[in-house]
């Protein structure tokens, strides 16, 4: 991997809110606005298969209900993950990490895999997702960037796939945020954008870390962050914030 091969603009959950989050349809929609990197959320099914889903439960974004990890991949395949958004997307399936690996690599797109374990499955999810990412992106020019709010998941990912780049997600910056990045051997901080300013970005850079942030939907705020040297901006507003080449 070259020092930092990722573009500065990253589509959140595929295409933000313009299409059903974490579906292939959303990725295609985000790509239609010129986005070349995608953030998405991954957790495990009951039979240990990585699938794209933000919430721990199925209720908000599918026709199913209950915990995601209570259903096998076969059971998840029967759900509609698009109709909740709008009729145009009815019937859209829950994607597997395998499907996303195929789609993104066939199109030369890059990925930020957010490991989002169902509570209580942090280590297992971190290890399984990282191991699958290692295999699925084995021939890719650019590896997936792994990220997580769960330090346990990042530790597991490091153990099984030490060569894959990792970012620590932080909603609030604790006083020891730099020490945490060092301890987890992350390459980047990935913070709530409201925690960032020129000084924080400068401090991360001075310590050798890149900086990403979520979820920036105001173009003026995006420009400020980029002017301060931000390395990766995760946005829902793929129709308003133009990706740079």
Q: What's the closest the beta carbon of residue 73 comes to ligand G3P, in angstroms?
A: 22
Write the binding mask 25 to 64 for Mg ion: x where contact by CB under 5 A, - elsewhere: ----------------x-----------------------
Cα 85 from Cα 188, distance rounded (Å):
32
Cβ–Cβ < 8 Å for 220, 194: no
54 is catalytic: yes
Cβ–Cβ < 8 Å for 60, 84: yes
Q: Is 189 helix (H, G, I), strand (E, B) or coil?
A: strand
214 is an interface residue for ligand G3P by CB under 6 A:
yes
85 is catalytic: no
Binding-site member from 234, 237, 238, 241 for ligand G3P (CB under 6 A): 234
Other C-beta atoms closer than 10 Å to the C-beta of 31 total 19
| Catalytic choice (9, 29, 54, 85) | 54
Binding-site member from 114, 122, 190, 231 for Mg ion (CB under 5 A): 114
Residue 49's alpha-carbon distances to 36, 76, 99, 128, in angstroms, are: 25, 10, 12, 8
122 is an interface residue for Mg ion by CB under 5 A:
no
Residue number, 45 or 235, with CB nearest to ligand G3P? 235
Cβ–Cβ < 8 Å for 181, 189: yes
**Residue ranges that bind ligand G3P, judged by CB under 6 A:** 12, 39, 41, 54, 114, 147, 169, 214, 234
């Amino acid at each position: 991997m070259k020092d930092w091969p990722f573009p500065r603009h990253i589509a959140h959950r595929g295409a933000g809110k313009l299409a059903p989050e974490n579906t292939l349809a959303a990725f295609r929609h985000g790509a239609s606005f010129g986005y070349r990197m995608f953030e998405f959320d991954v957790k495990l099914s009951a039979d240990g298969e990585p699938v794209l889903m933000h919430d721990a439960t199925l209720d908000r974004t599918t026709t199913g209900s209950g915990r995601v990890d209570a259903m096998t991949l076969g059971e998840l395949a029967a759900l509609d993950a698009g109709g909740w958004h709008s009729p145009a997307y009815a019937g859209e399936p829950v994607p597997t990490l395998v499907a996303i690996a195929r789609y993104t690599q066939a199109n030369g797109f890059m990925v930020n895999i957010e490991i989002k374990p169902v509570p209580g499955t942090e280590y297992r999810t971190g290890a399984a997702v990282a191991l699958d990412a290692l295999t699925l992106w084995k021939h890719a020019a650019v590896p997936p960037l792994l990220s997580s709010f769960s330090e346990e998941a990042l530790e597991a990912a490091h153990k099984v796939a030490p060569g894959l780049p990792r970012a620590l997600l932080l909603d609030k910056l604790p006083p020891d945020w730099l020490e945490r990045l060092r301890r987890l051997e992350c390459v980047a901080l990935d913070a709530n954008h409201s925690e960032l300013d020129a000084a924080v970005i400068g401090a991360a850079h001075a310590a050798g870390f890149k900086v990403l942030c979520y979820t920036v939907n105001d173009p003026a705020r995006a420009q400020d962050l980029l002017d301060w040297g931000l390395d990766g901006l995760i946005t829902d507003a793929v129709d308003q914030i133009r990706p740079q080449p």
